[in-house]
Structure 1
């Protein structure tokens, strides 16, 4: 039962006035506050607590034994803000350790006082300052060099993991108990490597790089075999004229054996690193094969070369 300060003070006074008798305190409490028979009165434990508080603090009310909370003071909030601005990639836990405060307090400051929120980073191709100008130069060269009747094959390969991908952010399992569901996957999942070439009149491919029904790494020999045994027969069936071929600067593409075969097939019409028209490095978004990786990538591609790839 909660007692008022006046009642606690009377009980302490009665305790000292009645020769430290707890029973006498309870009887006096009955009479003074007009409590009915069998009504609630302070028990011995409560009276002892009030007396001890009075002896140690001079008050019957128990005072807080811990330090006053100062974590949310303006100077601490500003210190957290400066630390976050200096190292925005560190976790809240590391910042809390550095400032010697609890993780809970750190999160409260970040959310309630600073209104900061965690954002996930997206990994993209690193671009150097000169890469942007190289892209523009490559597009201008293509527009100036390619004749109006030119047909350009844009080629590339991609890896497709066949073990499946689970976005755990969108997975929920409602239950009264934790089902301990696990999604196990190997460290290096199985994948297939697929090559294709895009032309404004159609698609050549896909071609799977595999041996004995197992995916293999692309090297110059396998790339040459693909060109001779798959791409060249498909190209002959199409009966096209003034065909150009584009590829990026992957090592398998630009090896000596690969370049010899491609130059023989497309004399003076090879768009590649060390080709007849140089292809800018770090430029996957300039081709239809890589222009639709995402909205941001597509917009960057369309802003740089709207005519080169789709003409």
Structure 2
């Protein structure tokens, strides 16, 4: 049963007057004319919340975003996306971890920006494939240059001289 703000404030006020939860519970039953009353643990939480925040209201309410204490929303703002885009254009080979340290943005946020926001901008036909020769990477010598003798024929058969 969700308790109303009036019931919560009555409990907190009564506790500050009497300093006794038993008295608060009996006053609550008389004032609101009901059999059910909040247990001691819940009333202690209301008192603690009032002492800490100065209110008994729900701080996680949707209309109360300034004091929302739940999970933070995504930090993918336009300014952060532009900063990541500029960093990628400056050095496209930098790792996400190093880019995160450099920009002061969480690693997962950078990864999310690269995948969800900047990936659609890339043209799949312009990306180099792994099989193409990269401009600054030396190519490996082929095996035929190292070993010019090429064995032909079936290698499972023993060599027989005719």
Pairwise TM-score range, normalised by the shorter structure: 0.5 to 0.7
1:164-220 Cα distance to aligned partner (Å, 9 max, x none) = xxxxxxxxxxxxxxxxxxxxxxxxxxxxx6xxxxxxxxxxxxxxxxxxxxxx9424x
Aligned residue in 2 for 1:11: 11
Q: Displacement of 1:22 after TM fit?
A: 0.7
Question: Max radius of gyration: which structure?
Answer: 1
Aligned mate of 2:119, from 116, 120, 131: 116
* CA spacing shift, 1:7–1:73, aligned 2, 3 Å: farther
TM-score by length of structure 1 reads 0.34
Post-superposition offset of 1:11: 1.5
CA RMSD in angstroms comes to 3.7
Distance 2:112 2:47 in 1: 39
Q: CA deviation at 1:121?
A: 4.0
Equivalence for 2:104 = 100
Alignment coverage as a number of residue pairs: 131
Greater length-normalized contact order (CA 8 Å, ≥ 6 residues apart) = 1
Higher strand share: 1
Q: In the TM superposition, what is the alpha-carbon distance from 1:34 to its structure 2 partner?
A: 3.8
Per-residue CA shift, 1:64-89, capped at 9, x if unaligned? 679x7683333222212221222222
Summarize deviations over 1:21-79 as a string: whole Å, max 9, x none: 111222233333443x3x3x32222222222222233212455679x768333322221
* Aligned position for 1:89: 93
**Structure 1: runs of 5 or more not aligned:** 128-157, 160-192, 194-215, 227-311
CA distance in 2, matches of 1:83, 1:125: 25
Alpha-carbon distance between aligned partners in 1 of 2:128 and 2:33, rounded to the nearest angstrom: 67
> Normalization by structure 2: what TM-score?
0.58
